[in-house]
């Protein structure tokens, strides 16, 4: 290996921080709005139910533009595209804070969404191309923490800002973070580019349509009155995925080559991400809902109950490298998924008369193991990708994670509504939540068997030196 220059050393120190900044902004923004919608609705003279459009427009924009992130980075360079995405996201945030009506807000959220769809995948791509495989685990481990902290802090920060400042600040908070990311990006973001770039427009449109339809169906699942149109949109999304598969087999240079799925670790990582996030993604939504609806507590109280999850994620970060080095990816992911599923099941144990404090140790331990899970799944997915596969593979991982989070939230809400309408709970809403936690917990435990497809030696090239 060639000797590392001082400039390269600086880049390797700062690049994970730049990616962490981008992930934190995006994850915080995805969740901070939820607690603020009633306040924004009052100010804009809208019904709170119509305000869902402000969330849906952002999610759909992510789904449409994320597949193009790899191509754009290869064509125009990671540095230019990343800084452009931060500028767009920050401008979108400013426009959101200045919105005078719902239409303005939705347009501003779309601008934010275009920035967000490029920001994280392109930042992650620069990280993958900068670090050697045996250094990547440590770098990715640092950058992934905001993905755990954002969804937990979002509702809490949003609640306090609305109560003590105004809803405008939930958007304005992004601007100083975005400016910091832009300054660091100009100085430290490497500019990787590929000369051999051919954009598969037809494949992009087909895959974007599939992502869009699946995302719409997931949003509709959360608030469905009639299941038939929802199922129609959902099935149509999968038909477009099949159409993309047929296209990719014929096309010489598809946007997501099918040879990605010949890489076993990538295939297991993609399926594992989708399966295990069904339970993991539903908890930050279901637990605050239960505390507010069943226990009749405030949004701020529910925010504080789940806040320890963010703190213990930090401890998971410091332990994951040692754990993976000692036990390997196969054993770590199988056992870790089993532990996470069991902890989710334990959330079903307290009855309506049990103290809320009972949830805190469970949530704290869950944060620790979630941290290990996300770092392990993210790094094993890219462990065996070749250089020419990293751009498209990384984009597909980002799209998959976005859809997996949506599936998890929708799945949790569907199970909850099924139990609410069943004779099993006899009108006791709290029991509907308990059965839901039990169901998603058991399914999470079962999802751990996906990782049996890994070999004991998989991920050895990612083995990192401990600090």
The pLDDT value recorded for residue 346 is: 92
Together in a domain, 173 and 64? yes
The pLDDT value recorded for residue 151 is: 65
Q: Higher model confidence: residue 2 or residue 58?
A: 58
End-to-end CA distance of the chain: 21
Together in a domain, 321 and 467? yes
For tokens 């200045």, the residue is: 98
What pLDDT band is residue 341 in, cutting at 50, 70 and 90? very high
The pLDDT value recorded for residue 49 is: 57
pLDDT tens per residue, range 178-199 = 888 888 888 888 888 776 667 7
Specify whether the backbone of 445 is left (phi greater than 0), alpha (psi in -120 to 50) or beta: alpha
| pTM above threshold 0.85 | no
Choosing from 180, 195, 210, the residue where a domain stops is 195
Where does 297-426 have alpha helices with state H? 299-306, 308-346, 359-382, 390-420
Together in a domain, 136 and 214? no
Together in a domain, 183 and 210? no
Together in a domain, 105 and 209? no
Write out the two tokens for 461: 């090239």
CA 154, CA 23: separation in Å to the nearest integer?
13
Together in a domain, 168 and 266? no
Together in a domain, 250 and 274? no
User: 407 and 281 in contact (C-beta within 8 Å)?
Assistant: yes
Name the residue range of residue 296's domain. Answer: 260-467
CA 155, CA 125: separation in Å to the nearest integer?
29
**Looking at residue 101, what DSSP letter applies?**
S
Hey, is 83 helix, strand or coil? helix
User: 264 and 227 in contact (C-beta within 8 Å)?
Assistant: no
Indicate which CATH number applies to the domain containing 391: 1.20.1250.20
Choosing from 152, 177, 195, the residue where a domain stops is 195
What pLDDT band is residue 3 in, cutting at 50, 70 and 90? very low
CA 237, CA 403: separation in Å to the nearest integer?
12
pLDDT tens per residue, range 76-134 = 888 889 999 999 999 999 998 888 888 888 889 889 989 988 888 888 888 888 877 77
Together in a domain, 183 and 237? no
Together in a domain, 347 and 463? yes
* Of 421, 332, 387, 378, nearest in space to 196 by CA: 387
Together in a domain, 58 and 170? yes
Tally of structural domains, the chain: 3
- Dihedral sign computed on CA atoms, order 34, 36, 38, 41: negative
DSSP assignment string, 201-234:
HHHHHHHHHHHHHHHHHHHHHTT-S-HHHHHHHH
Exposed e or buried b per residue across 215-228, where buried means at least 16 C-beta atoms within 10 angstroms of its C-beta: bbbbbbbbebeeee
The pLDDT value recorded for residue 86 is: 92
Q: Higher model confidence: residue 334 or residue 218?
A: 334
Residues of the chain with pLDDT > 90, as a percent, come to 9
The pLDDT value recorded for residue 221 is: 67
Hey, is 70 helix, strand or coil? helix
Choosing from 209, 224, 254, the residue where a domain stops is 254
Hey, is 168 helix, strand or coil? coil
Together in a domain, 88 and 234? no
Together in a domain, 191 and 213? no
Is pLDDT above 60 for 10? yes
């Amino acid at each position: 290996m060639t000797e590392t220059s001082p400039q390269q050393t600086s880049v390797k120190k700062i690049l994970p921080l730049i990616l962490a900044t981008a992930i934190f902004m995006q994850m915080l923004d995805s969740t901070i709005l939820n607690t603020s919608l009633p306040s924004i609705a009052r100010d804009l003279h809208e019904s709170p139910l119509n305000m869902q459009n402000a969330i849906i427009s952002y999610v759909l924009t992510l789904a449409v533009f994320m597949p193009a992130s790899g191509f754009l980075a290869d064509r125009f360079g990671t540095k230019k595209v990343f800084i452009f995405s931060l500028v767009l996201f920050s401008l979108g945030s400013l426009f959101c804070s200045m919105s005078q009506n719902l239409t303005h807000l939705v347009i501003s959220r779309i601008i934010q969404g275009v920035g967000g769809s490029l920001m994280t995948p392109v930042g992650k791509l620069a990280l993958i191309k900068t670090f050697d495989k045996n250094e990547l685990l440590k770098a990715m481990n640092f950058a992934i923490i905001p993905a755990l902290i954002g969804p937990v802090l979002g509702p809490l920060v949003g609640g306090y800002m609305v109560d003590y400042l105004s809803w405008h600040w939930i958007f304005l908070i992004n601007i100083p973070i975005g400016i910091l990311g832009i300054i660091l990006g100009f100085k430290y973001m490497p500019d990787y580019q590929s000369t051999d770039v051919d954009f598969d427009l037809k494949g992009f449109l087909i895959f974007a349509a599939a992502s869009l339809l699946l995302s719409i169906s997931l949003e509709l699942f959360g608030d469905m009155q009639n299941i038939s149109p929802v199922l129609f949109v959902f099935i149509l999304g999968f038909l477009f995925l099949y159409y993309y598969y047929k296209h990719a087999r014929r096309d010489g240079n598809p946007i997501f080559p099918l040879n990605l799925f010949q890489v076993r670790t990538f295939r297991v990582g993609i399926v594992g991400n989708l399966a295990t996030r069904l339970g993991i993604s539903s908890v930050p939504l279901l637990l605050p809902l239960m505390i507010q609806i069943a226990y009749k507590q405030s949004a701020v109280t529910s925010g504080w109950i789940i806040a320890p999850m963010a703190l213990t994620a930090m401890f998971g970060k410091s332990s994951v490298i040692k754990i993976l080095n000692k036990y390997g990816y196969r054993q770590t992911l199988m056992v870790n998924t089993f532990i996470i599923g069991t902890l989710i099941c334990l959330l079903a144990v307290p009855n309506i008369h049990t103290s809320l404090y009972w949830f805190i140790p469970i949530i704290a331990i869950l944060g620790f193991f979630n941290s290990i899970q996300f770092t392990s799944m993210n790094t094993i997915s890219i462990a065996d990708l070749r250089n020419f596969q990293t751009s498209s593979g990384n984009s597909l991982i980002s799209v998959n994670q976005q859809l997996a989070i949506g599936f998890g939230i929708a799945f949790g809400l569907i199970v909850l509504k099924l139990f609410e309408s069943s004779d099993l709970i006899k009108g006791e809403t709290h029991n509907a939540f308990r059965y839901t936690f039990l169901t998603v917990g058991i399914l999470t435990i079962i999802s751990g068997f996906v990782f049996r497809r890994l070999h004991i030696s998989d991920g050895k090239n990612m083995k990192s030196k401990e600090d």
